[in-house]
């Protein structure tokens, strides 16, 4: 099965002044994405600051989102951990909260072997019934998933694909060659969405879609409809914004950009800290905000 095709937003988690989750604002953001063509909601992932949320907060945020979306879009919950037992517990909680699928990052800090990766993801997959996407982001976790490891993991029924944030098109080609086209790939980097789709990716799990969901939806749809040059033009037109949104660790710049544009999504939980004045000035220039 395929969870979605096109543009999935890696949605921010809006916070109140006291840093509790702002559910009223989250509802507004969900309405925005429903109106602007977003194809899936990826909740409490990296961009959603899951690392500083408790299990209960993550599950509650997933439940709120799943209940409000009510089947209109797929809701995919970040449920990864570097502790397999914790990953099992959190995954069950997110499934019970109504998630249509789970996003599972590779273990970080206490990095494991490729064999350990197989056992880690297998144990979590066996504990739930919903489909899972693996999340390969070695720049954050310090380890990647070998194509041969993906081949083994793809044999598990509910491990159906991967968010590829390696930025390495050669890696994606190796995965396609070895694992085949029944295993779904999504770009985890906005700046290589169309190149990765040329290798068979189903779409993108996008940070930029927090700001311009219609553009990212249109870009992926144009490619899927065979309008390759138009899709590529949209991809290159977003290059300056993409660079501005990743000059500091995500989601620092995207939350700053959203607040500059009047979305009022609040601040960041420590250790993430507000964007520098240089970053804000650059975002104002790129976004055309005074």
Please identify which of the residues 25, 63, 163, 202 carries the catalytic annotation: 163
Number of domains in the chain: 1
Distance CA 203, CA 189 (A): 11
Whichever domain contains 89, its CATH number is: 3.20.20.70
Distance CA 97, CA 54 (A): 14
Q: How much is the pTM? A: 0.96
Does residue 270 lie within any of the structural domains?
Answer: no
Distance CA 37, CA 43 (A): 17
Q: Do residues 268 and 49 lie in contact, with contact meaning Cβ atoms separated by under 8 Å? A: yes
Does residue 70 lie within any of the structural domains?
Answer: yes
Does residue 62 lie within any of the structural domains?
Answer: yes
Annotated binding site: 47, 205
Q: Do residues 136 and 159 lie in contact, with contact meaning Cβ atoms separated by under 8 Å? A: no
233 assigned to active site: no
Q: Do residues 10 and 48 lie in contact, with contact meaning Cβ atoms separated by under 8 Å? A: yes
23 assigned to active site: no
Annotated binding site for pyruvate: 47, 205
Neighbours of 289 (CB within 10 A): 12
Does residue 114 lie within any of the structural domains?
Answer: yes
Does residue 246 lie within any of the structural domains?
Answer: no
Q: What is the pLDDT of residue 290?
A: 80
Do the bridges between strand 6-10 and strand 40-43 make them parallel or antiparallel, or are there none, so unpaired? parallel
Q: Do residues 145 and 117 lie in contact, with contact meaning Cβ atoms separated by under 8 Å? A: yes
User: For the chain, which residues score pLDDT lower than 50?
Assistant: none
Does residue 266 lie within any of the structural domains?
Answer: no
Range of the domain at 59: 6-227
Does residue 258 lie within any of the structural domains?
Answer: no
Distance CA 36, CA 48 (A): 20
Please identify which of the residues 92, 108, 109, 135 carries the catalytic annotation: 135
pLDDT tens for 210-236 read 999 999 999 999 999 999 999 999 999
Distance CA 129, CA 122 (A): 12
């Amino acid at each position: 099965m395929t969870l979605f095709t096109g543009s999935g937003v890696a949605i921010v988690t809006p916070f109140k002044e006291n840093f509790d989750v702002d559910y009223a604002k989250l509802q507004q953001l969900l309405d925005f994405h429903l109106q602007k063509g977003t194809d899936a909601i990826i909740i409490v992932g990296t961009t959603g600051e899951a690392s500083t949320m408790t299990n209960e907060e993550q599950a509650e945020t997933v439940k709120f989102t799943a209940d409000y979306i009510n089947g209109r879009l797929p809701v995919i919950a970040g449920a990864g951990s570097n502790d397999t037992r914790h990953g099992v517990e959190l995954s069950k909680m997110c499934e019970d909260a109504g998630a249509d699928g789970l996003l599972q990052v590779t273990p970080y800090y206490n990095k494991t072997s490729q064999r350990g990766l197989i056992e880690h993801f297998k144990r979590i997959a066996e504990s739930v019934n919903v489909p899972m996407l693996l999340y390969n982001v070695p720049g954050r976790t310090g380890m990647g998933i070998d194509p041969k490891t993906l081949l083994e993991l793809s044999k598990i029924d509910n491990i159906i694909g991967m968010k590829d944030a390696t930025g390495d098109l050669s890696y994606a080609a190796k995965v396609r060659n070895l694992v085949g086209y029944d295993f779904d790939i999504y770009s985890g980097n906005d700046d290589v969405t169309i190149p990765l789709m040329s290798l068979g990716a189903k779409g993108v799990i996008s940070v930029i879609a927090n700001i311009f969901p219609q553009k990212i939806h249109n870009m992926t749809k144009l490619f899927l409809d065979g309008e390759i040059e138009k899709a590529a033009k949209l991809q290159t037109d977003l290059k300056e914004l993409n660079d501005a949104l990743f000059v500091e660790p995500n989601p620092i710049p995207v939350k700053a950009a959203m607040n500059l544009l009047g979305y009022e999504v609040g601040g960041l939980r420590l250790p993430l800290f507000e964007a520098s004045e240089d970053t804000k000035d650059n975002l104002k220039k790129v976004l055309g905000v005074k």
